[in-house]
Structure 1
């Protein structure tokens, strides 16, 4: 069995820093690097790409809404075609910096509100697929299992990596429980460890109401801006490798 661990990184901007990327990088296999809209800037992108390369971690683009003030977590209204070009613009930015450093871009994972909205909004999902297809159809698109975006991407011939959030509760429908809901965020490392192992071995996860849900995943997400993220990432990786599960970048086995 093989699985990837990804983390949102490079989410500083100018003199502002967020998360302990240097600590988290030691436990992950894929880095989702902010492209300058919700966070990040050219210098931060460059240093984060170099950090990933130094640790053998695959590089991915992490595009979001143009929303520095709201960290990309606000649901923005857009005209048709806007999201497609937002994604294209950010892919181009990260690709250019990555190429200058001798790195290749493995995947695309949307950020924040854009990630959540495109998962279930057909127009946004279509624009994301159009952007990835136009830019480089070989890129892996990371999204929620069984989402509108996952199904549409597969229909368009794109490679999809199904993502699971170890420290987030799920509803009975398989969607992430809203952060405003009590119990939506899990803080016990042992609980996170056990549900990750069960997910990989049995393809099962217990929902926030206690129901059993069948779910398959290719990559596990650790939020870099969560306090203690590097410890959680280390705990997850140690648990997986201790159980004989190989932790490798997603391009090694997806697609």
Structure 2
């Protein structure tokens, strides 16, 4: 089952909806779609959970307006989805860019319906380096990504995919993963890269008042594992689980462990 939810005037986002039970709402990373969570989609409903995969605006099957790729707007889109589908006691899962968007949602919408939070390789609290935050890419590095997106988006995304994984991935898988990124709107891909470069979510962490599971690859070259120390310190009820054999793509590289950790967290 799929839903199209109007989140703004003439802007609809797509939500995949599979199974019944406690709703688990997944927010994907840059620049893919809900399809990156297929190994969770085929597993969670077997255990009595409802999988919901939201395509953020500009990605997958969702509309791609020119504006609205900042975290505040994306968080407001999440709120529209939760309320339109009347989701209760939601478990919110954010991967990479979806992580800080999930956190911003909890910060901006105090009357949310979230009972637990899962952060997967999250680009939080900051994706790029700042004073007193020496981790992640330099802001100029994201400028280079944006320039390459404007000149050769397929080549840039192929190179990005090469950084994504610690393990060697099969060619067929790499082709599939590249295609996920190529289905995104080109302007959404660029504008979201600007958000990743410029957004600062450090003040948002203290607004997370639900149990939080942080799963992160030890070999992550996109969102370094050092990010987890800031998330763990800033989120009151946070637990970090390192993935020793993964880079940024832990949901693929150690998918069985990801699913096991999420299911154990759901049962607590």
What TM-score do the two structures reach when normalised by structure 1? 0.37
Task: Decide which structure has greater helix share.
Answer: 2
What TM-score do the two structures reach when normalised by structure 2? 0.36
